[in-house]
Amino acid sequence: MLRGLYRVEDEEKDKKCAMKKVFHLCHSSKEEVMFRNHEDYIWGFNCYALALYKTESWSLADAHMSNHRHLVVQTEAPEKLMLLNRLAYTRHMNTKYQRKGPLGENGYFSIELEGIYHLLAAISYTLRNALHHGVAPTPFAYPHSSANVIFQSQLGKPSEPQLLDKRNQHRYVGRNVDIPDEYEMHKSGLFLRKNVTAVKQVELLYGTPKNYLFYMNRPSDERWIEEQKEDNSCSTPITLDQIERGVLLTPNDYMLRNERGRSDYKRITDIELCEEIDRIVISHFKVPSIYCLSYSNKQELFCMMKELHHASDEQLRRCLAMDYMR
């Protein structure tokens, strides 16, 4: 437990946060993508934000990827938080796509974080997740993580977003959902990450914007492990391999290659592939979603997308939900 680590301007917030444990949580989906378009990412984060509120928790970092999500959370109820998050988002997916059943793996990966350097490593690896998976050249180029709310003004990033009127917020969370008064929503429908992220605490950990940039760009090597030994903690050191243990979807050497900038950013991403598939499903096959398509039609699409984009079999199978059973 990290006692006395956090100093924030708001005394009430400080009291709520100071004694809570910190966890790295990861939930993955091997058989199908979790987010098929940008609207799904919005709903996914909003469900997470509301689960944080209901469990009196705070986010320290988040990264929502197409088939998994990493969360570093200060909470007393990690199980309840994950349950609320998953149930709410699964409800959205099942309603929107006429889908049935749970979404993703039955369980989730969880590790308690003890010590400043363990926490720094977990937050840094979470924010660098898009870089490691080869979908963005820097952590700041990926829109579905909290990387851009840390030292926002000092790094010259826009901090005055256009907000959606409170009366229209239910379009992005559901009709019968209680929305906290302090939650602001961007005109895109996304709750502002700064409302649910303990920004001041995270900035205190990194110390300066320059040090934050250093952590966002430093290579994954033994120095991370040596640094964490200074915590005098019994916890296992946080490494790229360890933090991805809950995913088991991407080889470690592939992620290290991406970290060095050797990824092919011209290749089609999961979200681009899903959006193209969904357009064809509606226009050509005349069904509302990929989940309403027969397996033979999915095989037809598989061959079509393979020829057009040279996507891997693994990527095509998850974007086409080939292994999903109604």
Buried b (16+ CB within 10 A) or exposed e, 146-159: bbbbbbbeeeeeee
What's the CA angle centered on 66, arms 286 and 262, to 5 degrees? 120
The C-alpha atoms of residue 73 and residue 85 are separated, in whole angstroms, by: 13
Q: Strand 68-75's sheet: what is its strand order? A: 58-64, 68-75, 21-28, 109-112
Residues 47 and 89: beta-carbon distance below 8 Å: yes
Residues 186 and 48: beta-carbon distance below 8 Å: no
The C-alpha atoms of residue 176 and residue 14 are separated, in whole angstroms, by: 30
Q: In whole angstroms, how far apart are CA 99 and each of 19, 288, 292?
A: 40, 11, 8
Pairing of strands 68-75, 58-64: antiparallel
pLDDT by position in tens, the chain (length 326): 343 344 344 555 555 555 689 999 999 998 999 999 999 999 999 999 999 999 999 999 999 999 999 999 999 999 999 999 999 999 999 999 999 999 999 999 999 999 999 999 999 999 999 999 999 999 999 999 999 999 999 999 887 889 999 999 999 999 899 999 999 999 999 999 999 999 999 999 999 999 999 999 999 999 999 999 999 888 889 988 888 876 656 778 888 899 998 888 889 999 999 999 999 999 999 999 999 999 999 999 999 999 999 999 999 999 999 998 75
The structure's pTM equals 0.92
The C-alpha atoms of residue 235 and residue 255 are separated, in whole angstroms, by: 24
Positive or negative: CA dihedral 236, 240, 241, 246: positive
Q: Which residue has the tokens 């605490």?
A: 201
Give me the domains of the chain, ranges plus CATH numbers.
Answer: 11-259 (3.30.70.1290), 270-319 (no CATH)
- Of 31, 122, 126, nearest in space to 316 by CA: 31
The C-alpha atoms of residue 16 and residue 149 are separated, in whole angstroms, by: 21
Q: In one letter, which amino acid is 152?
A: Q
